A and B are shown apart, each in its own frame.
Chain A
């Protein structure tokens, strides 16, 4: 399978990249989704701008009480980051569950998030973390919340010529536990359904819950009805079940050859209960 002809540029600077992108070129990061699509000719970009070598897009650092992750940080770099393991274990756990070793060595968080595959893993975690995305164009930069970023399947708030430059996630206090549970599609490694849970307890009661769901519908979302149902409760197995039962509320579930809509809804409830239970068990 050979891609259609295209022009390739490895720019020396982010400014050069943004200039090329503003003239219609498309960004290439790890290529783990784009290259297979080009080989199938589902994607036929005329000009690719390779962002992978740009050092000023590849970092993981703490600043201003938050964690800043450059767009070209690979899944492996995230999975193996000591800083993230300590301060945002939900992200390392999620990164470690993506695809396989070879994919994690090449694939990048910026590429995955910008591609917005409805079955990708990061969007669940980033929804639960209420992440912020820094989007940069040739002229301006803006910050968009995860809730506003994922618009539809393979559709995001990115405008033509813009790239996702950085992902920002919060640092939780010690009373917070997190977990990501997915039903994996074994050939591709994608999530048939994936649930990220972020739970805080105070005086024996759940004081804060964020649930991010991927794979169920066209884009990742936060299950706010389920979150509200659990907050203020002691989190007995019954409380968790009752909350998990609400994660599919108001959601149009996808159906494909791997899983029907009904089965996906069932998986979402089961995995939500497991993710919440595991998150609570991890509270220090």
Chain B
């Protein structure tokens, strides 16, 4: 089946099998390997991308379902070599150790401040429930989201 979608502002038109998962389209067809395949069972959130403005798990969606959609992956955040404020905040606040969960964390974190420009700690933790980090214990990730929200408000 032929699908057309936009990823990070670039159009793709491709013939795909209906069973191809969106994450495989992103990584293997579009060559965007920033989105990580973690658990493959919809639990860990490492594969989170933005689909038409909403954070979704790309391992639990077929590429054909994204026909006509606009997708943003972690590669689409930096602008002209300048990191997105959320990326900057993860760096400054040491919001990662091994970094495997980070692309998904950042995409979920961006959804939090899209919906709650000044999030409470509860809103941040609730917003990160779908993302698992096995290194940090989450505290620095929560701090990073707070810092990004504070910076974005300035």
Known: A10-B67, A102-B108, A106-B61. A36 touches B42 (CB 8 A): yes
Q: Is the CB of A36 within 8 A of B60?
A: yes
A105 at interface, CB cutoff 8 A:
yes
Q: Is the CB of B129 within 8 A of A100?
A: yes
Q: Is the CB of A103 within 8 A of B54?
A: no
**Set of chain B residues within 8 Å of A100, measured between Cβ atoms:** 45, 129-131
B98 at interface, CB cutoff 8 A:
no
Q: Is the CB of A4 within 8 A of B19?
A: yes
B133 at interface, CB cutoff 8 A:
no
A229 at interface, CB cutoff 8 A:
no
Distance of A268 Cα from B65 Cα, bound (Å): 38
Chain A window 229-254, contacts with chain B (Cβ cutoff 8 Å), 1 for yes, 0 for no: 00000000000000000000000000
Chain A window 40-54, contacts with chain B (Cβ cutoff 8 Å), 1 for yes, 0 for no: 000000001010100
Chain B window 1-38, contacts with chain A (Cβ cutoff 8 Å), 1 for yes, 0 for no: 10000000000000001110100000000000000000
A67 at interface, CB cutoff 8 A:
no
Q: Is the CB of B62 within 8 A of A8?
A: yes
Q: Which residue of A lies closest to B111 (CB)?
A: A101
Q: Is the CB of A106 within 8 A of B129?
A: no
**Set of chain B residues within 8 Å of A10, measured between Cβ atoms:** 64, 67
Q: Is the CB of A102 within 8 A of B19?
A: no
Chain B window 65-90, contacts with chain A (Cβ cutoff 8 Å), 1 for yes, 0 for no: 10100000000000000000000000
**Set of chain A residues within 8 Å of B67, measured between Cβ atoms:** 10
**Set of chain B residues within 8 Å of A106, measured between Cβ atoms:** 54, 56-57, 60-61
Number of A residues, CB within 8 Å of B: 30
B144 at interface, CB cutoff 8 A:
no
Q: Is the CB of A8 within 8 A of B45?
A: no
Distance of A100 Cα from B112 Cα, bound (Å): 12
Number of B residues, CB within 8 Å of A: 29
B102 at interface, CB cutoff 8 A:
no
Chain B nearest Cβ from A33, distance in angstroms: 9
Distance of A254 Cα from B17 Cα, bound (Å): 39
Distance of A102 Cα from B54 Cα, bound (Å): 8
A140 at interface, CB cutoff 8 A:
no
Q: Is the CB of A32 within 8 A of B60?
A: yes
Q: Is the CB of A50 within 8 A of B65?
A: yes
**Set of chain B residues within 8 Å of A35, measured between Cβ atoms:** 42, 60-62
Distance of A31 Cα from B19 Cα, bound (Å): 13
Q: Is the CB of B48 within 8 A of A8?
A: no
Chain A window 49-70, contacts with chain B (Cβ cutoff 8 Å), 1 for yes, 0 for no: 0101000000000000000000
Cβ 8 A contact of A32, one of B17, B40, B42:
B42
**Set of chain A residues within 8 Å of B45, measured between Cβ atoms:** 100, 102
Distance of A237 Cα from B43 Cα, bound (Å): 39
Chain B nearest Cβ from A94, distance in angstroms: 15
Q: Which residue of A lies closest to B1 (CB)?
A: A8
B41 at interface, CB cutoff 8 A:
yes
Q: Is the CB of B1 within 8 A of A102?
A: no
Known: A50-B65, A101-B108, A189-B129. A5 touches B19 (CB 8 A): yes
Distance of A250 Cα from B112 Cα, bound (Å): 43
Q: Is the CB of B65 within 8 A of A31?
A: yes
Distance of A110 Cα from B66 Cα, bound (Å): 20
**Set of chain A residues within 8 Å of B127, measured between Cβ atoms:** 101
Beta-carbon contacts under 8 Å, A1-26 to B: 1-8, 10
Q: Is the CB of B55 within 8 A of A105?
A: yes
Chain B nearest Cβ from A40, distance in angstroms: 8
Cβ 8 A contact of A105, one of B19, B43, B56, B112:
B56
Q: Which residue of A lies closest to B42 (CB)?
A: A36
A137 at interface, CB cutoff 8 A:
no
List 10 A-B residue pairs with CB atoms under 8 Å apart, sorted by A's residue number.
A10-B67, A31-B61, A35-B62, A76-B54, A99-B130, A101-B112, A102-B130, A105-B55, A105-B56, A106-B61
Known: A39-B40, A102-B55, A106-B57. 4 other contacts (CB 8 A): A2-B21, A4-B19, A35-B61, A36-B42
A positions within 8 Å CB-CB of B: 1-8, 10, 28, 31-32, 35-36, 38-39, 48, 50, 52, 76, 99-103, 105-106, 187-189
